[in-house]
């Protein structure tokens, strides 16, 4: 069953790239005691993720923080090496890129899709959510193949 507003996020483990290489980071470390704008994307460097979704996050980064968001994070079903390169490509370290390489987080929140028909395997659905102290307070999940409600601009208007 997909996560919904009012639900607590599961404490799964992401992988993040650091100066010392890949390191684990639990959901509690990311969300506990913080207000976090979280964006779920199927994969780094893919057309819609890199060309449409990420730009809306970047364009609204400062405005989200002005509205009281402590951190902005993006999770994809990629390994931390890919996300480390993507971090350099997007040109800011103000967005936490959370690797969910095995889709454990996406599966635990019930927001996956089967992309096997295009060689992607299990991927995260596209979404945005506001998480306050680990609890979902806003949630926008895209219909497959669409990009209408999961952008940074939509989440900003809801805060």
58 within some domain: yes
Position 119 scores a pLDDT of 67
Q: What angle do CA 84, 117, 10 make, to 5 degrees?
A: 50
CB contact set of 18 (below 8 Å; sequence gap of 6+): none
Q: Do the domain assignments include residue 93?
A: yes
Range of the domain at 28: 13-158
The string of pLDDT tens digits covering residues 13-56 is 999 999 999 999 999 999 999 999 999 999 999 889 999 999 99
Distance CA 83, CA 38 (A): 15
Would residue 8 count as lying in a domain?
A: no
Catalytic residue among 49, 95, 130, 155, which? 49
pLDDT of residue 121 exceeding 80, the answer is no
Domain annotation covers residue 6: no
Contact criterion met (CB below 8 Å) for 36 and 130: yes
Whether the pLDDT of residue 70 is over 70: the answer is yes
Confidence of residue 66 (pLDDT cuts 50, 70, 90): very high
Domain CATH code at residue 34: 3.40.30.10
Q: How far apart are CA 26 and CA 13, in angstroms?
A: 4
Provide the percentage of residues in the chain whose pLDDT is more than 90.
89
What single DSSP character describes residue 60? H
Q: Is the pTM of this model over 0.85?
A: yes
Question: What is the count of structural domains for the chain?
Answer: 1
Mean pLDDT of 83-97: 96
Check if the beta carbon of residue 35 is closer than 8 Å to that of residue 130: yes
118 is catalytic: no
Residue 53 contacts by C-beta under 8 Å, 6 or more apart in sequence? 39, 41, 126, 147, 150, 151
């Amino acid at each position: 069953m997909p996560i919904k507003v009012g639900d607590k996020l599961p404490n799964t483990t992401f992988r993040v790239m650091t100066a010392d290489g890949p390191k684990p980071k639990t959901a509690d470390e990311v969300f506990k005691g913080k207000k976090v704008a979280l964006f779920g994307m199927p994969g780094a460097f893919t057309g819609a993720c890199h060309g449409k979704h990420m730009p809306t996050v970047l364009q609204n980064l400062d405005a989200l923080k002005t509205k009281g968001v402590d951190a902005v994070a993006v999770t994809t079903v990629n390994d931390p090496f890919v996300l480390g390169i993507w971090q350099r490509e997007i040109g800011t370290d103000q967005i936490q890129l959370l690797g969910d390489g095995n889709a454990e987080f996406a599966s635990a929140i019930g927001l996956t899709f089967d992309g096997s028909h295009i060689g992607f395997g299990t991927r995260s659905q596209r979404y945005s959510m506001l998480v306050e102290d680990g609890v979902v307070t806003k949630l926008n999940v895209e219909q497959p193949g669409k990009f209408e409600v999961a952008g940074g601009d939509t989440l900003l208007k809801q805060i």
